[in-house]
A and B are shown apart, each in its own frame.
Chain A
Amino acid sequence: ILNVEQSPQSLHVQEGDSTNFTCSFPSSNFYALHWYRWETAKSPEALFVMTLNGDEKKKGRISATLNTKEGYSYLYIKGSQPEDSATYLCASSNAGNNRKLIWGLGTSLAVNP
């Protein structure tokens, strides 16, 4: 994998459902993996930055895991609420140029009340 790929592209769930998205990234020379939430009419907001294989991070009902050997990260949302509706972006960097993030296209989540 040369780029950062996210799936699914979009997702519609009912309030209370739990859901998860996938981010695939280049595992070679990996440095860091970022997750952001981008709500309509706002700017992207950082959720997590992970660097170590096996990292798990949690923020309220949202959590993320990282597998650097196989190059993927999962973002989980437990008990989705309408305010979780947003585009979730992931981005990765490598040790060769660790200031540059390569961004996925995002997963657009819509939570229906």
Chain B
Amino acid sequence: SQTIHQWPATLVQPVGSPLSLECTVEGTSNPNLYWYRQAAGRGLQLLFYSVGIGQISSEVPQNLSASRPQDRQFILSSKKLLLSDSGFYLCAWSQVIGASNQPQHFGDGTRLSIL
């Protein structure tokens, strides 16, 4: 069966510090991968999605970047965090075939607090 691992679960970082959140998927090949953020009082916002190694689509201009160095690894990064980067970050995967008529499967999330 497929599993998704996301870490760390919580993170407290000072403004201006770098960020690296990692997500890995097991039990499937060539999945679509997604990074979402939920800011306080807001809905889920798609940040990045990837359809393959090295292929990243960015949905909103921001202080963050994403990379997919391996088929089942998706990394969210920042060189300098801003206060506005605080929020709850979720990684998700879905089957490639059919794209968005396949359900997305989510990791447990990372609660990021910027001080």
Contact = CB atoms under 8 A, between A and B. Distances in A.
Contacts of B46: 100-101
Interface of B: 32, 42-46, 49, 51, 57, 59, 90, 99-109
Contacts of A42: 108
Query: Interface size bucket, A side?
Result: 20 to 34
A93 B101 CA distance: 9
Interface string A81-113: 000000001010100001111011110000000
A62 interface: no
Given A89-B43, A105-B42, 19 more contacts: A31-B101, A32-B101, A34-B100, A42-B108, A43-B107, A44-B90, A44-B104, A49-B101, A49-B102, A89-B44, A91-B44, A93-B100, A98-B99, A98-B101, A99-B57, A99-B100, A101-B100, A103-B44, A105-B43
B108 A99 contact: no
9 contacts: A43-B106, A43-B109, A44-B106, A46-B105, A49-B101, A99-B49, A100-B46, A105-B42, A106-B43
Interface in A9-45: 31-32, 34, 42-45
Given A49-B102, A93-B100, A99 B32 contact: yes
A7 interface: no
B104 A34 contact: yes
B101 A100 contact: no
Nearest to B59: A100
B47 to A, nearest CB: 11
* 5 A-B pairs with least C-beta separation: A46-B103, A93-B100, A43-B106, A103-B44, A32-B101
